[in-house]
Structure 1
Amino acid sequence: MTPTRGDLLYSREGTYFGIAAEVPQSTRVCLGQRMVLIRPNSETLDFRFLRHWLNSPLMARHISGFRDGSVAERLNLPTIRSLPVLVPPILEQHAIAEALGTLDDKIAVNERIAATSRALGIAQFDAACAAGSRNVTIGSISSMLLRGGAPSYTEDPAQTTVINQKCIRGGRVDLGPARKTVTAKVRLDRILQKGDMLVNSTGVGTLGRVAVWTHDITATCDSHVTIVRPNPAAIPVMVGAYAILAAQPEIELLGEGSTGQTELGRTKLEQLPVQVPVIEACEALASQLYRLEERSKAALDENQTLTELRDTLLPQLISGELRVEEKNSSA
């Protein structure tokens, strides 16, 4: 299928349940069974406005808990067709889309900064290993390797954040899918520390994904995630973290068990060999990696603020509580 300008893809189940994205015009696409194509009528509905609406917290609350014959969240086509959309006049939609699009542009810039910083870190780690390396095991450079605990979920925002497998993607932790667990029931050794590596440890397609913990909040992990804490007495924390990042393809192959019930055992993870630079190179490399991770964190922290601002503005713009200047032609 060749998309036209304004086509949206909408995920009706799975990891990206309830997320809409514009289809790049230059890309031919084939829809998977978890995806739906939405083609708005451009005379009455600005596709950028619709994308913001579908991705808003208002819509997320509306579709939360949808079930279609299984324990997984799923939207069927009749439900998607009946999703409510508050539609201002088309010129007002254009203006709202332009205003929110400015925030989207800044968010995209920050995402590129974070991605570039991580890519530079990986390049520096690889270069250090190429200049001189040694083989160690994950267990030998770790002070702790422990599965998270079974959460006691709560809706109290003051309680401890609990990270699940959906949060771990692209080497980073996205707090969006995280939930809260009762703080009093969290073991102290499961409270995350900066530089901890989080490893998805169950399930086909998720097992083996890793991420570096860099957030400043109090958090833990559920029982589907393994916490690997690099030992600073054996290796600088950030160098150990990058070594485990580099080993993700090998970690993904360590699962055992039947389809759908695949598990990553602690012993296999401990014994996995990884390559790290020679000791003499580690301190300087750690300093470089730390600075790059801080640059990434600053960009992504700003994105969190911008995202919250965007999500706050949308209902205010739709209700007329806030107004933006309308243009006489569509963008």
Structure 2
Amino acid sequence: MAEVTIAALSEAGALTFGDGYRTKRSEHGRPGYRILRVADVADGRVDLDGPDFVSDEYQRAIGSELSQAGDVLLTTKGTVGRVAIFPADVEQVVYSPQLCFFRVTDPSTIHPRFLAYWFKSEAFVRQASHRANNTDMAAYINLGDIASLSLDLPGSSEQQAIAEVLGALDDKIAANAEAIRVADDLSRAHFQSASADGDEVPLSSLARFVNGKAFTKDATGMGRVVIRIAELNSGIGGSTVRNDIEVPDDNTARSGDLLFAWSGSLTAARWYRPEAIVNQHIFKVIPAAARPMWLVNQAVHAKLDEFKSIAADKATTMGHIQRRHLDEPVLVPSAEDVKRLDALMAGLWGAALASRGREPQTHRDSRWLLPLLMSGKVRIRDAEKTVEEVL
């Protein structure tokens, strides 16, 4: 491996890099180019739904800050280090100044996808943390700091092999996410169609809503995960609390259970991880007799926007709903339609749950392989075997 800096790669003509275009409000307008901001870049994904555009009459001024397919994107302010590759066959956008783009011009020297994975590596995180400028507003890393970053660069064929192995895992993660989206979209469409001529019933008649308790208090750090709103929204992380206490079955979450955070972000989600403990501010939603889980899930989601509006009106406290709000009516399919749809909707619920259940192992393999492949501690051949087992 050869150690090389981003600046040296640029000087050698292997890539160009820069930050985005500093747009003036007077330049906004349509037809034009959508502004891609930090919030629009997630790890591995670019969201093209931002509301602001730069008029296309400023194309010459924008210059290289217009997107090109294959650009490697790195968030450099606020949340430093989210990475994505700008996709092909989508609209061209203009990058905001809080994004840095890397445009590979010589893939025989550095492979774009290898570079993207390097930005997720421990080597980048370590160097970036030493260079990041922390202010009262937000952490950021500037172009000079980025230029000085150094990476160990293997040969072209090895770079491509590493990118292909890690890419296969990313593709599996993306396929799982798409399968979940399709199953949930179909379920929602069938529910809404059948509910149009259905029955209006209190949400609370469909299930028991059992509130969690303060199980993080005196947590031992061992045993099962304690599910807080953070775990429901973002999964298990470094701040996740564990506790080895025994709790009632109604406060225990198992794969396939429906959980509903009634405070803060107001989120409803199926639990698909190992058995865990439900903390306060989260309901475990237990269907009433003869009420299928898919029906309860869709009914809760049908009320979410209304509940969020109620929570938003809590000006002096953290947004939340009260238990009386669960007694408000919701439209559901008739008993005949529930029976008619049950096999289909149960199948869609199960398909989405199965896809969710495959995610943790795939993510674990990706996190495990990345640093070892980048450092050369794991051979490509061995990594390929691991990926084959997952796929």
TM-score range with shorter-chain normalisation?
0.7 to 0.9
| Partner residue, 1:98 | 164
Pairs within 5 Å for 1:160-171: 160-165=225-230, 167-168=232-233
Per-residue CA deviation, residues 205-241 of structure 1 (Å, 9 max, x unaligned), is: xx3332233x251223454x43151432373232111
Pick closer, same or farther for the CA change 1:222–1:67 going to 2, 3 Å.
farther
- The residue aligned with 1:137 is 202
Aligned partner of residue 169 in structure 2, secondary structure:
helix
Displacement after TM superposition at 1:185 (Å): 7.9
Map 1:41-52; keep pairs closer than 5 Å. Answer: 41-43=104-106, 44-52=109-117
1:131-185, Cα deviation, whole Å (9 max, x unpaired): x4111222332312425536248794643242424643xxxx7446872332328
Give the alignment of 1:283-302 within 5 angstroms. Answer: 283-302=339-358
Alpha-carbon distance in 2 for matches of 1:128, 1:149: 39
Assess if the C-alpha contact under 8 Å between 2:71 and 2:85 holds in 1.
yes
Structure 1 residue 97: Cα displacement: 0.8
What is the CA deviation profile of residues 2-57 of structure 1, one whole-angstrom value per residue up to 9, with x for unaligned ones?
A: 2123323334577x764311223433335567x52231555443331232233357
Who is 2:191 aligned against?
125
* Cα distance change on mapping 1:178 and 1:200 into 2, 3 Å: farther
**1:258 aligns to 2:315 (yes or no):** yes
1:218 counterpart = 2:275:
yes
Aligned pair partner of 2:140 in 73, 76, 80: 76
Q: Indicate the residue corresponding to 1:190 in structure 2.
A: 251
Report the Cα distance in structure 2 between the residues aligned to 1:93 and 1:140, rounded to whole angstroms. Answer: 57
Give per-residue Cα distances to partners, 1:231-252, cap 9 Å, x unaligned.
Answer: 3237323211111122222222
Q: Which residue of 2 aligns with 1:329?
A: none
Q: Is the 8 A contact 1:129 1:277 kept in 2?
A: yes
8 Å Cα contact 1:190-1:221 kept in structure 2: yes
- The CA distance in 2 between the partners of 1:177 and 1:200, in whole Å, is 24
The DSSP-based 3-state class of the residue aligned with 1:257 is coil
Counterpart for residue 9 of structure 1:
73
Alignment of 1:172-191 (within 5 A): 174-175=235-236, 179-184=240-245, 189-191=250-252
Equivalent position to 2:118, from 41, 53, 61: 53
Secondary structure of 2:283's match? strand
The CA distance in 2 between the partners of 1:311 and 1:113, in whole Å, is 22
Q: 2:179 matched to which residue of 1?
A: 113
Change (3 A) 1:59 1:281: farther
Instruction: Mark the CA change 1:139 to 1:38 in structure 2 (over 3 Å): closer, same or farther.
Output: same
Based on CA coordinates, which of the two structures has the bigger radius of gyration?
Answer: 2
Pairing partner for 1:305 from 349, 361, 367:
361
- The one-letter amino acid of 2:83's match is A
Whichever residue aligns with residue 159 of structure 2, its letter is Q
Query: Structure 1 length normalisation: TM-score?
Result: 0.75
Contact residue 133 and residue 278 of structure 1 kept, 8 A: yes
- Closer/same/farther in 2, CA of residues 268 and 41 from structure 1, 3 Å limit: farther
What is the distance in 2 between the residues matched to 1:264 and 1:88?
52
Conservation of the 8 A alpha-carbon contact between 1:142 and 1:228: no
Which of the numbers 242, 246, 271 marks the counterpart of 2:302? 246
Structure 1 residues without counterparts, runs of 5 or longer: 326-331
| Structure-2 change in CA distance of 1:163 and 1:48 (3 Å) | farther
Q: Which residue of 1 aligns with 2:86?
A: 23
Q: Which amino acid aligns with 1:197?
A: L
Amino acid at match of 2:101: I
Q: Is the contact between residue 230 and residue 241 of structure 1 (CA under 8 Å) also seen in structure 2?
A: no
Aligned residue for 2:43? none
The one-letter amino acid paired with 1:89 is G
Residue 134 of structure 2 aligns to a residue in which SS?
coil
Percent of paired sites with the same residue: 23
Query: Does 1:88 pair with 2:154?
Result: yes
What residue identity is the alignment partner of 1:320?
Answer: G
Q: CA deviation at 1:122?
A: 1.5
1:232 aligns with 2:288: yes
Amino acid at match of 1:99: V
